[in-house]
Amino acid sequence: MANSKRKLPTKPSATEDATPHKDTPRSSEEFPTDVNHKSAKKSFLPQNAFFRDCLGHDLSNFTSLTNFTSWLNRPVDGAALGIFRLLYGAAMLIDIAEERGGGQLDVRFQEPLHCHFPLFNGMRALDYPLMGCVYLCMWLGAWGIMLGYRFRTSCLAFLIPYWYIFLLDKPTWNNHSYLFGLVGTLLLFTQAESYCSLDRWLNPRKSHCIPYWNYFLIKFQFFILYMYAGLKKFSLEWLSGYAMSNLSYHWVFAPFRQVIDPELIDLLIVHWFTAFFDVSIAFFMTLEKTRLLVTPFMLSFHLMNSRLFVIGMFPWVCLAEVPLFFSFDWPRRLGNWSKIRDVHPKDPEEELSKPGILARLRTGLILAFCGLQLFLPYSHFITKGYNNWTNGLYGYSWDMMVHSYDTLQTSIQVVDNESRQVHDLNPYAFTEYDRWTKYADMAVQYARCIEENLQEPDIGRNISIYFDIWCSMNGRFQQRSFDPREDLLRAKWSPFESTSWSLPLLNELNHMRPKLRTIETEVLAWNNYSDVIFVADFPGLTLTNFISPDLINCTLTILEGNVRYRNERDPEAYFLTAGKSIGLESNITHLVTTIGQKPASYLFTYTNKTMLEQGITIEQTDTEERSVLPLWQEFQHRVTNYQQFLGHIGNCLMYLLYDVPIPQAVKGGD
């Protein structure tokens, strides 16, 4: 902002365009775009007034490629983007040791038999010492981004290792990790080092004005994040209230529990309000008239998420993005630095009136990127091989928190086809991830990795591997995710074809979900030691269930369909139909086969004898004192994690430089 005693120049500088005089009616984001601007505005006068009132921009900016290019290239102050760059870099420094796995670097990469799940099968993890160098490069790049030092080089040093590690393991994918990579890639092409950076300090004559498209790209990416997250929630699956259950008992909802029941909090606030918030908040933040009104909701939403979920730096990166919706020069105003002027002011009208071929080409690339981001979340009709119970791989579709899983049982059998011996394998012998239990592509990758790792002399090379996995999604029955009769070493899988051996979600039983909740409430009310498991299975398949001697009063009850039941001690089979029950003995194996043409659904009820005899209740197991706001504990955990990360990096460097042996990793158990 100009000094009040200083006479305004006849032709405004680029700095003044980014920060207009207080008497100028234009917002800080506006500037005339080209010579046809006035004539175009007359044609859209009523619409333009509405557009300007809502968005602060002229409708004529979007009536032609030339106008749009001029609008994207108008000079604005780079201060706000510089602050975002600094905060993003700081968040990535923390993220590297946490969600990028730096603190567990030895567990993930030191063990040569550890299985990875790359997007492209040709990708391989480097040797552990070299992976330490990859993480060191990414860490130094994050420092460079935060400090704004050799910005382009720092971005590349961060992004190349980041995307390599990201693509190396699909089980670690989530939407915000994908977001971090996209934002870093977009920053690479911007001039985010124009403010609050070492590059600017080393070159003070560098202009602090940047083209508006630098802001547009980042804001568009976050706009997509919010809008698509909301659109994915506007489905019966989410609005029915089954995705996030019992969240209302968290302390952040304590004020709401004084007014409405926890069940209504889960439905109305956690599900319905969140869906409306996600789909609308980006629009409201874009509109000048509603921006200040909804900002407290935006801040509260991400702060609550940081308490409710373990999602790393995601809430903090989103909070760092919020100021981008406000004026470009707010950091200068905040610091009372408005007297700083551009050393080489340019004539923006002359520059913007004739966008060149390179500017138009850049606009085309920006529009292509925007189109790609709009298309990818709904591109699953192309990549059919990745569609299982949900569409596509988790992590790039912005379907955040829409699906929750409960895995009951995971078993892997390795069959020697020559001796016909069957070997049971620990499902997590070669990986700590469990997302392979729900995605066919990763199941095939894991089976092939197991085949490569099995070197025992009692197992031949001619083997078959079978997975039998039971899990539930969003309060449904426990059911199989894959056909247990399929040899995954010979199973057909293609990214562009549907997977025949991936069993479908039994949506025809969705109508029973309210009934399941009612039954569960009744069973849990029997005593503090009773529980229930709901199961559904496909025709022709058999559930083999060993009941532990710790369980008593076990009962099998059929809800729908027909089954044949027997146990290992009694060869006689019993045919059970809907509504029938049978008592089950403990310490033996029971076999339940679904017969007929349609799936069968049933339930097991039982009492935990051990808990009953010792007087232990579920409530007592959770009475461990926990802080409501464990900020100090979180800080200590992060410090410890970072110390481990730096220790791993040091071990790798000492080995490469001086051949110092690296301590062997110890895999912790849960």
Name the residues annotated as catalytic.
233
DSSP code of 270? I
State which H helix or E strand residue 605 sits in. strand 600-608
Residue 40 token pair: 């175009």
Phi and psi at residue 395, to the nearest 5°: 135, -10
Strand order across the 589-595 sheet: 542-546, 589-595, 562-567, 574-576
Q: Are 165 and 100 in contact (CB under 8 A)?
A: yes
Instruction: Look at phi and psi of residue 420 and say left if phi exceeds 0, alpha if psi is from -120 to 50, else beta.
Output: left
- Concatenating the DSSP letter of every residue in 248-267 gives GGSGGGHHHHTTS-HHHIII
Q: How far apart are CA 532 and CA 133, in angstroms?
A: 50
> Tokens 């120049």 belong to which residue?
9
Find the DSSP H helices in 234-352.
236-239, 254-257, 262-264, 274-286, 288-308, 314-321, 330-334, 348-352
Residue 468, beta-bridge partner list: 411
DSSP code of 62? G
Q: How far apart are CA 355 and CA 435, in angstroms?
A: 49
Q: Are 238 and 275 in contact (CB under 8 A)?
A: yes
Q: Are 547 and 585 in contact (CB under 8 A)?
A: yes
Our separate counts of H helices and E strands in the chain read 25, 14
